[in-house]
Amino acid sequence: MRQFDVPDFYQSPIISTVKAARREADPRKRDLAPSVLDFGPVRFKIARHFGFCYGVENAIEIAYRALAEHPDKAASGRVFLLSEMIHNPHVNADLEARGIRFLRTTSGEQLIPFDALGPDDLVIIPAFGTTREIEADLQARGVSTEAYNTTCPFVEKVWKRSEQIGRKDYTIIVHGKRYHEETRATISHAKAGAPVVVVRDIEEADDLAAVIRGEQGPDFFFERFGDRATEGFDPDRDLQRIGVVNQTTMLATETQAIADLLREAVIARSGEDTVAEHFADTSDTLCYATKENQDATYTLIEAGADLAIVVGGYNSSNTSHLVELCEAHMPTYFVSGAEEVERESIHHFDLHTHTVKATPDWFPWVTAADRPIEIVLTAGASCPDALLDEVIGRILGWFDGTRSVDEALAPFTTESASA
């Protein structure tokens, strides 16, 4: 695996040490068991996989290289990101502090008009990619986006696969959030060669399956998917041959379940013998990092704990899915950083109301007299390791007589040294 040049301040004395030891001891990534940091009265169970993935490290390396190679442009405010590079407020705030300006919000609202750009300006494409229409608009203004394009290679893989099956007259079914940046980009690239429709979850996939089987007609389709299908979509024609791709940050297990459901619908309509003619196998488009993080979270949950803390940007799709997995089994708090973790109350993002709320008396002090408090700790793919260190440090400050960091890390430094 390629090593990226990521700024040292995103690394951490605790988490990065644990990750390095696990990589050295288990290079094939077969052991999903969590790492346990035992500080005496409190134990942290750390997911085997989390934090910066390949695509995020690639994006960070490119963005910081752009700043280093163009200090004059950065100083004069002529280095732009099309929108947030990744969905982490700490990373984006640091880039802004170094001179980068954002052209658009993640929802597509224009912050700086493209008319303000010129050929000498530097525009960085975020890790989610962008639409063909925006690329063409920038190119028409003489703005080059090729030198510092941070689009994740696994997102581009989805686009290429969509193009391949589109050329074979398959319609593209995208498992994703219709207005997420990545899904908007995928729709734009896929619709150049094929009809496209987006399904958000297994319930919507079930509705689409009913149309494929002929149990529901066009009126039902447009009622459910009118704003998620490309212009001119004809359900009678365009659902005859289909392939499923996904927004790479979605739950991999759900994408597979949706693909299986729609495949069965195709079989029910056309028969098992001809399924290969009507359903394209696109399982190779699933993002390995997203799946690794989710698989590690399942194992983390099985290990059990008193509560879970998940760190990441509130608009991070992959982080929100980790939160969903954890909160089905234990009290779970979605925070953007240690500043939200207080002894008396915790400020955290509620996925169901899409608001930040304060929960008092959240910490299970009652168990401390009998046994160590156990905390599951993980993070999204765009979260720096350093933020988890800060959470650990904040919580350790509430206890007397904790073991030192060196003592807690001893199993990992010993394993690393003897490996």
Catalytic residue list: 182
28 plus 98 within the same structural domain: no
Q: Kindly give, in sequence order, each residue whose CB lies less than 8 Å from that of residue 332, ignoring residues fewer than 6 positions away.
A: 307, 308, 309, 310, 323, 326
278 plus 158 within the same structural domain: yes
Q: What's the mean pLDDT in 164-185?
A: 95
Q: What's the mean pLDDT in 233-253?
A: 94
163 plus 60 within the same structural domain: no
**Is residue 125 domain-resident?**
yes
Confidence of residue 417 (pLDDT cuts 50, 70, 90): very low
**Is residue 149 domain-resident?**
no
Q: Which domain holds residue 237?
A: 154-286
DSSP at 344: S
77 plus 176 within the same structural domain: no
CATH code of the domain containing 59: 3.40.50.11270
Could you give the C-alpha distances from 164 to 157, 171, 186, 189, 360, in angstroms and in order?
10, 11, 13, 12, 53
Could you give the C-alpha distances from 417 to 24, 239, 410, 413, 414, in angstroms and in order?
10, 57, 10, 6, 5
Last residue of a domain, one of 140, 171, 200: 140
104 plus 46 within the same structural domain: no
204 plus 277 within the same structural domain: yes
Query: Rounded CA gap, 325 and 220, in Å?
Result: 32
Q: What is the pLDDT of residue 365?
A: 85
Return the amino acid letter for 179: Y
Number of domains in the chain: 3
307-362 pLDDT tens trace: 999 999 999 999 999 999 999 999 999 999 999 999 999 999 999 999 999 999 99
Last residue of a domain, one of 140, 174, 192: 140
Q: What is the pLDDT of residue 206?
A: 98
102 plus 186 within the same structural domain: no
Residue 10 has pLDDT above 60, yes or no: yes
Residue 49 has pLDDT above 50, yes or no: yes
211 plus 325 within the same structural domain: no
The two beta strands, 345-350 and 355-360, are antiparallel
Q: Kindly give, in sequence order, each residue whose CB lies less than 8 Å from that of residue 55, ignoring residues fewer than 6 positions away.
A: 127, 152, 153, 154, 155, 248, 287, 289, 381
Residue 416 has pLDDT above 60, yes or no: no
Element (H, E) at 407: helix 405-418
233 plus 317 within the same structural domain: no
Say what the pTM is. 0.90
Residue whose pair of structure tokens reads 């695996």 in the numeric block: 1
Residue 366 has pLDDT above 70, yes or no: no
320 plus 357 within the same structural domain: yes
Last residue of a domain, one of 220, 254, 286: 286
**Is residue 2 domain-resident?**
no
343 plus 367 within the same structural domain: yes
CA-closest candidate to residue 7, choices 97, 129, 73, 120: 97
Q: Kindly give, in sequence order, each residue whose CB lies less than 8 Å from that of residue 221, ignoring residues fewer than 6 positions away.
A: 208, 211, 229, 235
Residue 167 has pLDDT above 70, yes or no: yes
Q: Kindly give, in sequence order, each residue whose CB lies less than 8 Å from that of residue 276, ignoring residues fewer than 6 positions away.
A: none
CATH code of the domain containing 229: 3.40.1010.20
